[in-house]
Structure 1
Amino acid sequence: MSAPLDIEGAAAPPRTNGELLFAEPWESRAFGMVVALHEAGVFGWSQFRDALVARIAAGEATYYQHWLGAVEDVLAARGTVAAGEITARVHLLADRPAGHDHLH
């Protein structure tokens, strides 16, 4: 993995015994998605890290909720995805029945 993850500080992902800690399956998928986008050259890691730190400083949420918000901020700022598209997709997914966390 080429993403230089912080070991300490606000941007450091949760760990247990040195291993990344994911409380829910969606958290590991969100983590992998951001790393893959970075490795594909969609954005620089420092840009993502700065957005993550800003999200963490701005309010209460879980680490990986901030993680998703940060990638949304970066993609919207770069014009890769419009903020309205992100909001629409969030609502579409939120309206799905439990156990259906994807679209067909």
Structure 2
Amino acid sequence: MDATVHRVRGEVVLGRSSKALRLAEHIDSVDALDREGRARFYLTLTRAHLHQRNQPGAGLALMQADRASPEEIRFNVYAQHLLKQAIGQDSVTVRHDLYRLAERAGLL
């Protein structure tokens, strides 16, 4: 599974978000990763969703990252950048949840 997680990250870095999200669908158990690994995986998915302008997908991935490791959202500069970017896309569907997450992270 670690190899697939790294492939997902690589595809996102290369700008191939659709391929990354398709690969991520085949990862059976993210729970096998440690807390930080799970959070980083979900942050990678957040980035992929943001590239596709899918704010609800990005919001869900951010909430999963927060569930895995709230410290990552609160103290990781990259996670905070992704959260700000997601809020900037401003979809009514997840606006409230993203603002709550931003408040808990100390961004608002």
TM-score of the superposed pair, with normalisation by structure 2? 0.33
TM-score of the superposed pair, with normalisation by structure 1? 0.34
Tell which structure's C-alpha radius of gyration is larger.
1
